Structure 1
Amino acid sequence: MDIKSTMAGTVLSIEIQLEDKVEENQIVLKLESMKMEIPIESTGNGVVKEIMVQVGDFVNEGDTLLKLKV
């Protein structure tokens, strides 16, 4: 399962690591957009298999941020 960006912004922090178990609605990272901090939540339960971004990266709406194995 892919977790995608809900808006364009800069990756402010990554709250999870590879192989972490995450639950639906858990905050996995935070974006900064227009000087606001935007939490990005998991859309389901799973284990983090790949993190596609780094802190400081700019992402667009719909970009894949990380991949979960369900």
Structure 2
Amino acid sequence: MENLTAMMAGSVWKLLVAVGDEISSDGEYVILESMKMEIPHAAPYKCKVVNVFVQEGDFVNEGDSLIQVEKLG
């Protein structure tokens, strides 16, 4: 299992997944908002969400864990 992390500091604008969801390679799982810009985060590989560490409206710093995933395939 691996944690996917924030690429930059910002607020969680939209959470696109829940525990148990499968994400395709390059599938978006969260959108952060920073400096009035929306920054989508995409999975680097096909995976399944095991844990979600954030909620919409949370502030995160660069490197903070957003979700935990299990690689599929």
Unaligned runs of 5+ in 1: none
2-structure distance, mates of 1:17, 1:42: 14
Runs of 4+ in 1 over 4 A off after TM superposition: none
Determine the structure 2 residue equivalent to 1:50: 51
Give 1:1-70 correspondences, 5 Å limit. Answer: 1-70=2-71
How many residues align structurally? 70
Amino-acid identity (%): 37
The Cα of 1:69 is off from its aligned counterpart by: 1.3
TM-score of the superposed pair, with normalisation by structure 1:
0.94
Q: Which amino acid aligns with 1:15?
A: L
**Structure 2 length normalisation: TM-score?**
0.91
RMSD: 0.8
Letter of the 1:61 counterpart: E
Instruction: Supply the distance in 2 between the matched residues of 1:45 and 1:5 (Cα, whole angstroms).
Output: 18
DSSP-derived class of the 2:68 partner: strand
Is the contact between residue 3 and residue 43 of structure 1 (CA under 8 Å) also seen in structure 2?
no
